[in-house]
Amino acid sequence: GANRALKSGKSLLPAGVSGVSGSFERGDCVAITLVNGAAVAFGISSYSSTEAAALIGLKTSEIEAVLGYPARAALVHRNDMAV
């Protein structure tokens, strides 16, 4: 579902993520890949790898409870992404 959403111009939300690999910080460029490792997009991460891993599969409304602060809905916003 996340791949279709990205190809139709939508942001990458935590609910569509099944895993996080590597170490990165907020503002770093990351590859967005399929489960098989094929890259489908690149973008600027709104979260560090540690934060992103904690958000896997969550609904946007659940992010603040996990991180402890109001946060962005998208892991990678569509305006910060190349598909």
Per-residue CA distances from 25 to 28, 30, 36, 63 (Å): 6, 10, 24, 17
Cα(35)–Cα(64) distance, rounded to whole angstroms? 27
Cβ 2 vs Cβ 12: under 8 Å: yes
**What predicted TM-score, i.e. pTM, was given to this entire model?**
0.90
> Does the pLDDT at position 1 exceed 80?
no
pLDDT at 25: 98
> Does the pLDDT at position 83 exceed 90?
no
Per-residue CA distances from 50 to 3, 26, 54 (Å): 22, 10, 6
Q: What is the DSSP letter of 36?
A: T
